[in-house]
Amino acid sequence: MSPGLKSFPPAPIPNPDPVVKATVLAQALPYMRRYAGHTLVVKYGGHAMADGTPDDPFARDVVLLKQVGINPIVVHGGGPQIAHMLKRLGIETRIVDGLRVTDRETMEVVEMVLAGTINKQLVS
């Protein structure tokens, strides 16, 4: 296993029937072969991290990608967590055309939440 990757026990499969497992593997094998050695960028949004931390199935999937020869890169979000912290600090969130306006004060909070909290939780 590559340094820095955690080892997780296999995710429980709802139907442990060997025929079902073999069928799933047979269907996935062409994709594993096709993308082995390639880099796959995965966006893991803030809404997917309800409590700000990754869930085990997501982490297992990233490990599985690496184990079959795909090089996953995880790009995390944090919109809900940023909005929560801005509210907690009494800083108004400005949204224009569906996008957050990030002024200097807001940027400090964004950096604090993304680099200081979410990133550390995701990589640990």
Return d(Cα 52, Cα 81) in angstroms, integer: 7
pLDDT 10s digits, 59-114: 888 998 999 999 999 988 888 889 999 999 999 988 899 888 889 999 999 999 98
> Residues 37-61: what's their mean pLDDT?
80
Phi and psi angles of residue 26, each rounded to the nearest 5 degrees, phi first: -60, -35
Is-above-0.85 flag for pTM? no
Q: How open is the CA angle 9-18-13, to the nearest 5 degrees?
A: 40
**DSSP conformation class of 37:** T
